[in-house]
Chain A
Amino acid sequence: MKLAKILGAAILASVTSVGIAAAQEVKVGIAAEPYPPFASLDSSGEWSGWEVDIIKAVCEAAEMDCVITPVAWDGIIPSLTGQQIDAIMASMSITEERMKTIDFSDPYYNTPAVIVADKSMEIEPTAESLSGKILGVQAATTHQAYAQKHFADSAAEIRVYQTQDEANQDLVSGRIDATQADSIAMSDFVNSDGGACCEIKGNVANDEAILGKGVGVGLRKGDDELREKFNAGIAKILEDGTHAEITSRYFDTSIYAD
């Protein structure tokens, strides 16, 4: 039974090739689903975008050896606690709910949440205006939590997508009336060819308990050493202008506010 032997050897080899990670290597988890302009995959298989540049800059400033590791967004916190990754830099807002499970670094950007809808539609970012409408949000985001708290009673339906891209796609196709998401990601979308149908209808009223205090690096509870490193890295790139320089490459305005 040569076949069985070869197969057995192959499996044994693949199992034993499971190595021990180098001690200094920090695996930074990003969402495996594209989230332009923060992180998107180009056709050569490379990740790029504002957040990817920031990851590289922070890691360089903090003298860390970082490896970008794409993980499914809705499983990104379990992946962190399960030690498949060491840090999350995937536009994750610092919220009280998440703080019960993981720690966060200082914020590295902060943007409001907006409602986007078809240009011809008269919608305002309020519960009354959304009554009877179908609202799409991405799963496991602050937007989902916000919509479920503030809009669930008035909206006809809150539809939950695995990625924001799919919600956008259904907005274009007309299956949903509006979507709630991050303002920067949405302005990128409505300025693209695919999003020409739609426009930003305004910011939703702030609810800091749900929307959080800006976006930070997600870390395992008690991983203080790594948190200090990330904080130092973030402080350094804010101070020496790297953050502003990267931002200016992508956006017209600053997206960092205290």
Chain B
Amino acid sequence: MVLLIDLSGLSDALELLSLSPPGWGSNLLRGLVHSLQIAFGAFGMGLVIGLFGAYGKLYGGPITRDLLAIYTTVIRAVPELVLILILYYVGTDLINKASQAMGYGRVEISGVIAGIWVLGIVQGAYATEVLRGAIKAVPPGQIEAARAFGMPTLTLMRRVTIPAMMGFATPGLANLWLIATKDTALLAIVGFNELTLETRQAASSTRAYFTFFLAAGALYLIVTLGSGVVFGRIEKWARRGQPSLRGGGR
């Protein structure tokens, strides 16, 4: 039945979605670009936090480890929506107060930066766990061998640990990237102009809720499926020279 309605209203829907005004297509695409920017930035920031977090959890002192455990537990137990609100209001408030205390006046924080910052901290907690698991999966003999050669810690990390763990980490990281793209939708609730908010604005301006939500869903799905292909390639590349994880015996 839904399909029938959509067919009869297809030309209307196409008009609403066309790229030039009065169509809202370009708004949706602009929202998609913002979403992807935020997702990409947050994913990157999550990776950096995750790398330090994973090393801290594995090799850090007792206090570092406890603090990291609190960080990952809290972030993974509290809904992203609540974290976004807390980090968004507290974060920008604190930055402004600090900047004013140092006599700089107010700091301008664009929506994209704030979104990256907020989602990056959330992503960092998950990335910490993914990377910790991946580092632990690296045969300890490889790391010990490098140490025995007298390799400095940073070189060891760069030349041995990270390349060796990439294969183990890629599936988890791919999952995190998908979470990042979907979590950008939550920023609609604090008023960022990303895809979901643009969709909501378009839908309520035209009352064509069904058309616009379906269109946005299709855009998200394209991103997800596209990323799946890309990450499949990355995983193949990262695991070159290693036995396949799946289907070894078949």
Measured CB to CB, the residues of A under 8 A from B are: 1, 4, 7-8, 10-11, 14-15, 17-21, 23, 32-34, 36, 40-45, 70-73, 75, 78-79, 81-84, 162-163, 165-166, 169, 172, 193-194
- Chain B residues with Cβ below 8 Å from A169 are 204, 207, 209
Contact between B105 and A23 (Cβ–Cβ < 8 Å)?
Answer: yes
Stretch at the interface among B63-71, B88-96, B144-152: B88-96
23 inter-chain pairs at a CB distance below 8 angstroms, sorted by A residue, are A10-B44, A11-B44, A14-B41, A18-B109, A18-B110, A20-B104, A21-B106, A23-B105, A32-B193, A32-B201, A33-B200, A33-B201, A33-B204, A43-B27, A43-B202, A70-B193, A73-B191, A75-B85, A75-B191, A83-B93, A172-B207, A193-B207, A194-B207
Partner of B27, one of A15, A17, A36, A45: A45
User: Given A11-B41, A72-B189, are A41 and B105 neighbors across the interface (CB < 8 Å)?
Assistant: no
- Chain A residues with Cβ below 8 Å from B197 are 32
Contact between A82 and B96 (Cβ–Cβ < 8 Å)?
Answer: yes
Partner of B201, one of A15, A34, A162: A34
Contact between A82 and B41 (Cβ–Cβ < 8 Å)?
Answer: no
- Chain B residues with Cβ below 8 Å from A83 are 92-93, 96, 106
Within 8 A of A (CB), among B192-220: 193, 197, 200-202, 204-205, 207, 209
Partner of A43, one of B23, B112, B193, B209: B23
- Chain A residues with Cβ below 8 Å from B45 are 11
Q: What is the total of A-B residue contacts with beta carbons within 8 Å?
A: 107
Chain B nearest CB, measured from A93 CB (Å) = 20
Contact between B191 and A71 (Cβ–Cβ < 8 Å)?
Answer: yes
Contact between A1 and B162 (Cβ–Cβ < 8 Å)?
Answer: yes
- Chain A residues with Cβ below 8 Å from B89 are 75, 78-79, 82
**Chain B facing A: main interface SS:** helix
Measured CB to CB, the residues of B under 8 A from A are: 21-24, 26-27, 30, 41, 44-45, 47-48, 51, 85, 89, 92-93, 96, 99, 104-110, 112-113, 116, 158, 162-163, 189-191, 193, 197, 200-202, 204-205, 207, 209
- Chain B residues with Cβ below 8 Å from A82 are 89, 92-93, 96
- Chain B residues with Cβ below 8 Å from A45 are 26-27, 30
Interface centre among A41, A43, A78, by most chain B C-beta atoms within 10 angstroms, is A43
Partner of B204, one of A7, A8, A23, A166: A166
- Chain A residues with Cβ below 8 Å from B106 are 20-21, 83
Partner of B205, one of A4, A32, A34, A70: A34
Instruction: Give 19 A-B pairs besides A7-B47, A20-B108, A43-B22 with Cβ atoms closer than 8 angstroms.
Output: A4-B51, A4-B162, A7-B44, A11-B41, A11-B116, A21-B106, A21-B107, A32-B197, A32-B201, A33-B204, A40-B205, A44-B21, A45-B26, A75-B85, A75-B89, A81-B93, A82-B93, A82-B96, A169-B207
CB-nearest residue of chain B to A6: B44
A82 to B94, CA, bound (A): 9
Contact between A18 and B108 (Cβ–Cβ < 8 Å)?
Answer: yes
- Chain B residues with Cβ below 8 Å from A84 are 92, 109
Contact between A43 and B92 (Cβ–Cβ < 8 Å)?
Answer: no
CB-nearest residue of chain A to B24: A43
Closest 4 CB pairs of A and B: A72-B191, A165-B204, A32-B191, A7-B44
CB-nearest residue of chain A to B27: A45
CB-nearest residue of chain B to A76: B191
User: Given A14-B113, A32-B191, A72-B189, are A43 and B21 neighbors across the interface (CB < 8 Å)?
Assistant: yes
Contact between B41 and A10 (Cβ–Cβ < 8 Å)?
Answer: yes
Contact between B201 and A4 (Cβ–Cβ < 8 Å)?
Answer: no
User: Given A72-B190, A83-B96, are A8 and B27 neighbors across the interface (CB < 8 Å)?
Assistant: no
- Chain B residues with Cβ below 8 Å from A43 are 21-24, 26-27, 202, 205
- Chain B residues with Cβ below 8 Å from A18 are 107-110, 113
CB-nearest residue of chain B to A192: B207
User: Given A78-B89, A169-B209, are A15 and B108 neighbors across the interface (CB < 8 Å)?
Assistant: no
User: Given A33-B204, A45-B27, are A4 and B47 neighbors across the interface (CB < 8 Å)?
Assistant: yes
- Chain A residues with Cβ below 8 Å from B162 are 1, 4
- Chain B residues with Cβ below 8 Å from A23 are 105
Chain B nearest CB, measured from A188 CB (Å) = 13
A78 to B23, CA, bound (A): 34
Chain B nearest CB, measured from A16 CB (Å) = 10
A231 to B114, CA, bound (A): 32
